[in-house]
Each structure stands twice: as structure tokens, then as C-alpha cells.
Amino acid sequence: MSDLIPIFKLLHNKKSIILTGAGISCNAGIPDFRSSSGLYVKAINNSKLKGKEVFDVSILQTGAENVAVFAQFMNDLYLDIQQAQPTATHRFIDDLITKEGTTGCIRCYTQNIDDLEPTKDKVVQLHGNMTRMKCTSCGVQKPWDSNTHKTLSEGYLPPCESCLETQELRILSGKRSASYQVGAMKPDIILYGEFNHQHAENTLNCVKQDLKSNPDILLIMGTSLKVHGVKNLVKMFAKKIHTKKLGKIVIVNKEKLKGWEGIIDEHIEMDCDSFVNCYNSWRDSLKPVVRKASPAVRISKLSTPPSTPTKQRVKDFLAVTPSSTLSSSSSPRSRRTSKAPLTPSSTPTSGRKRVGIDQSMVLNTPTKRSRTIPSRSNVLKKLEAQAA
Ligand SMILES: [Zn+2]
């Protein structure tokens, strides 16, 4: 833990940029792209395609069979995403983004397309967003609905209604319909080989603005940094941040990356949620202790199993504790995290600092959105009911 404290201080007291990848959503139940159980493997099931080809724009021009693989895979992925909830890492980033004052996270760049970020303000979705559909021709956007689900599950991309209207008007006005190409609706994500000028310009404007803001730390979380454009983003921020005496480029990832000497200063080989739990524990330790736990609190802890959802634990706690004994600066969460044994071990290695941790020492709290998690069958039933 002591190795992590200088990093925690930078995150808490200075301006940060955060860059995230699939690793932060794995604990939400969304598989990553490249692992043996990842999205690529799932995508090529029962097809002759290679995993990456499902995310390449050329798949849309290689025949109905491949379009069907793309459509059905995207529909499955959408249903997975509907059941996923933000993790402790999503909440940690959100807390830093909404932190009052001039410190905190000034921008989060994410490669994820799951739209799990609680706050969209100051978040740049580098590769788009699975929860919207977009026309391949005119660019019109629309939310995912029951017809989208039905058409994709049958292996087709829905035609763009806006393009169809334009085509009809052209026919009515005597223009040749063949000269107008009706687009198809596909998820609003950036595929390999696809270039979205407007999207790229927006990202570039954000980067320019962030470089001017003089960030102190770039925190990279849950990514193996394989995408060319993302590598360049890291290098640009590193160049700027390294002009500061205390500036740091830090990565939290389960596996150490190679080839980043002189650019990434600290490799923390750890699950992202575990890192966040350590940070929360450290941050909570900064708060002054207002009072000791009353006997009533101890009773409530004993009577409530640790696996009970947080909301229920708070409810149980309130049921046995008089409201007058509660202090605003001593929330149930801060009490819980401050008592947890969260001290990781550290393992220095040659050349570059690596931080290890005993996973059994980490309180790994599942994170829930306030709404009830729909089961896959419930999501399907809802979409089918809308279609009926
Ligand atoms: Zn269109």
C-alpha cells in the first residue's frame, strides 16, 4: 500500500486524465476482446471468420452470411450490456470527474463501447457506443428498440428509415432513385477500417484542451494498449506530463505491458477494482474519526451477512441504530472500508517499479446501479412485447 500512496495523492490532490479499456468492465460481466473467453472467440463461434474480422468495417461488404454473423453478434452483445452494471472502477472515475474544486479527473477517455460510465460529462467514448444505432449512409442516429432487436436477431441490419424517406421523395420529384444509396442501421461504434471525421475531430479538440490544462497524472486502467490511436494518445499526454517534476504516467492492469520504457512510469499489476478499493481505503483514512462504533453497530454487523447487498446492509444498520447516533462524516461505506484489512504487499523489480498485492486482503465490493438488474430473458421479453 505504501508504494501506492504517492499515486493516490496525485489522484486526490492534482489534475488527472484517465484512459480505460475492457479490463474495467470485466467485473461487470462484459468479456474483454482478446482473452480466450473474450468477445473475439464468441464472435467467430459457428463461422469461418477470425474474431477481429467481426469488428472490421469490411464485414458489411462481404455477403449476407457475414452480415448475419455481425448482426446476431451485435444483438447478443447489446443484451449482455443491458444486464451489466458499473463497477467500483466506474464509480471511482465518476467520483474524480464530479469532484468539487480544480482537482480531480479533467477527462476520461474510454475505449469501451458498453456505455457503463455513470456520468457522460467529461467522458470521451473513443470507439462509440453500443446503445445507439447509426445509419451507414446519412449518419442519422436512433436508440435501440424492439424492431432493431428483431431484425438483428434474424441476421439482418435494419434499413435506415430516414434514407428510405429521402429516396421516396426523390422518386416523387422525378429524380432517379438509383443514385441515392439507402443506408443500413448498425451500432454506433467505430469499427476497424472505419473513419468518422466528426468523431475524430471532437476527440482531437478534447485532447488539445486537456493538454492546455496541464494535467499531473495519466492513469491508464484495464487496457493492453494495442490500438494505434490510443498508443499515440498516451505518448502525447506523457510528453506533456513529464515536463512536470512530479508528473506521472501510471498503468493499472493485470499484466505488465512491454515496450513502454521511458513513457509509463509505474506498472501496477492488479485488478482495477482492487486498486480502487485500496484508494478508497486510503482516502477514507484521511477523514477524521468522529466517534467509535456503538454496540448497536456491532450487533447490526453481526446480524447482517457480508454478502447482503449494500442497500440492505444500510437498511439493517438503520433499523438497529438510533438516527441520532449517526454522523454525517461517518457513512456506512467509509466505516466499512476503513475497517477492512487492505494493506497490499509490494514487490519491487529491477528497473521499473512493480506493485504486487495479496488479493485475499482486498475487499472486492460488487457495485450495483440503483435500478434492478434485468435478466437476459426479461430483456428479451420486454423487446418482444414491444414488437408485438
Ligand atoms: Zn440513413
- Mean pLDDT confidence for 101-113: 95
pLDDT per residue as tens digits for the range 217-241: 999 999 999 999 999 999 999 999 9
Using pLDDT thresholds of 50, 70 and 90, give the confidence band for residue 62. Answer: confident
Judged against a pLDDT cut of 70, whether residue 379 lies above it is answered with no
Given a cut of 80, is residue 294 above it in pLDDT? Answer: no
97 pLDDT above the threshold of 90 = yes
* Residue of 189, 188, 142 lying closest to 161 (CA atoms): 142
105 is in an annotated binding site: no
Q: Tally the C-alpha atoms within 13 A of residue 357's C-alpha that lie toward its C-beta.
A: 30
Closest of 367, 379, 369 to residue 24, by C-alpha:
367
Could you say which DSSP state residue 150 is in? H
pLDDT surpasses 50 at 290: yes
Instruction: Using the mean position of ligand 1's atoms as its centre, give its distance from the Cα of residue 245 in Å.
Output: 51
Cα(142) to centroid of ligand 1, in Å?
11
pLDDT for residue 106: 96
* pLDDT of 131 over the 60 cut: yes
> Model's pTM, two decimal places?
0.73
Over 50: is that where the pLDDT of 344 sits?
Answer: no
Which residue's entry shows cell 430473458?
Answer: 377
Which is more confidently placed, 52 or 238?
238
Q: Which pLDDT score, from 0 to 100, does residue 49 have?
A: 74
Q: Is 292 in a helix, a strand, or coil?
A: coil
24 neighbors 222 (Cβ within 8 angstroms):
yes
* Per-residue pLDDT, 336: 33
Q: Compare 178 and 89 and report the one with higher pLDDT.
A: 89
Average pLDDT over residues 198-211: 94
pLDDT of residue 42: 65
Average pLDDT in the 336-356 region?
A: 38
State in Å: Cα 134 to ligand 1 middle: 8
Distance of CA 308 to the CA centre of its chain: 25
Active site residue 127: yes
- Output the pLDDT for position 329: 36
- Percentage of the chain lying above the pLDDT 90 cut: 51
Q: Which range among 214-223, 239-248, 324-333 shows the weakest confidence by mean pLDDT?
A: 324-333
Residue of 127, 149, 242, 267 with catalytic role: 127
Mapped onto helix, strand or coil, the DSSP state of residue 118 is coil
pLDDT at 86 over 90: yes
Query: Ligand 1 centroid vs 244 CA: distance in angstroms?
Result: 48
For residues 257-270, average pLDDT: 96
**pLDDT > 60? residue 269:** yes
Q: Where are the alpha helices (DSSP H) in 194-341?
A: 197-212, 228-241, 272-285, 295-303, 310-320, 332-339
271 pLDDT exceeds 90? Answer: yes
CA of 168 from ligand 1 middle (Å) equals 13
- In the structure, what pLDDT confidence band is assigned to residue 209 with cuts at 50, 70 and 90? very high
Mean pLDDT over 42-57 rounds to 73
Cβ-contact 132, 143 below 8 angstroms: yes
126 C-alpha vs ligand 1 centroid, how far in Å?
Answer: 22
User: Which span out of 42-51, 80-89, 306-315, 357-366 was modeled with the highest average pLDDT?
Assistant: 80-89
In this predicted structure, the answer to whether residue 178 has a pLDDT above a threshold of 90 is no
Closest to 238 (Cα-Cα) out of 218, 268, 254: 218
Mean pLDDT over 61-81 rounds to 89
Tell me which amino acid residue 148 is. Answer: T
**Which carries the bigger pLDDT value, residue 57 or residue 40?**
57
Angle, CA of 368, 369 and 370, to the nearest 5°: 115
Highest mean pLDDT among 43-57, 142-156, 327-341: 142-156
Cβ atoms 120, 105 nearer than 8 A: no
163 is in an annotated binding site: yes
- Interval between CA 139 and ligand 1 midpoint (Å): 6
Cβ contacts of 182 within 8 Å, gap of 6 or more: 137, 159, 160, 163, 164, 167
206 is in an annotated binding site: no
Ion ligand 1 residues within 5 Å by Cβ: 135, 137-138, 160, 162-163, 183
pLDDT at 251 (0 to 100): 98
Predicted pLDDT of residue 33: 65
Q: Tens digit of pLDDT for each residue in 21-39?
A: 999 998 998 877 666 666 6
Quick one: pLDDT at residue 340? 35
Q: What pLDDT, on a 0 to 100 scale, did the predictor assign at position 262? A: 95
Kindly tell me the sign of the dihedral angle through the C-alpha atoms of 169, 175, 177, 183: negative
160 is in an annotated binding site: yes
**CA atoms of 312 and 315, how far apart (whole Å):** 5
